[in-house]
Amino acid sequence: MSPHSGFRKEASLTLNGSIRLAYRWLSIIFTATVIANFVAMALGEPPAWIVYSPLLPLFLMMVSGLYMFVLPYAAGRRQERRVEG
């Protein structure tokens, strides 16, 4: 066992927690921008920046969501290598 393996595990937990927290806040921001979009459409023709404002949080949610989706598969492969090696 490497003396740095505990540090790596702690750092990855911190990274995973940070990404999950960012994902939660991004979902709140995304929801707010979509609501603002509907409100603006109800009041008339909305400006382009309001129409496209949900796209940035949506893209960031896609990237972080894919990262969280792949985590269990990557962890499984790491465990398989430890057992084999």
pLDDT tens digits, one per residue of 15-51: 889 999 999 999 999 999 999 999 999 999 999 999 9
- Structural domain including 39 reads 5-84
User: pLDDT tens-digit profile of 47-85?
Assistant: 999 999 999 999 999 999 999 999 888 877 776 666 665
- Main-chain phi, psi angles of 4, to 5 degrees: -95, 0
* Total structural domains within the chain: 1
**What count of residues does the chain have?**
85
Q: Which residues of 18-42 are buried (b: 16+ CB within 10 A; e: fewer)?
A: ebeeebeebeebbeebeeebeeeee
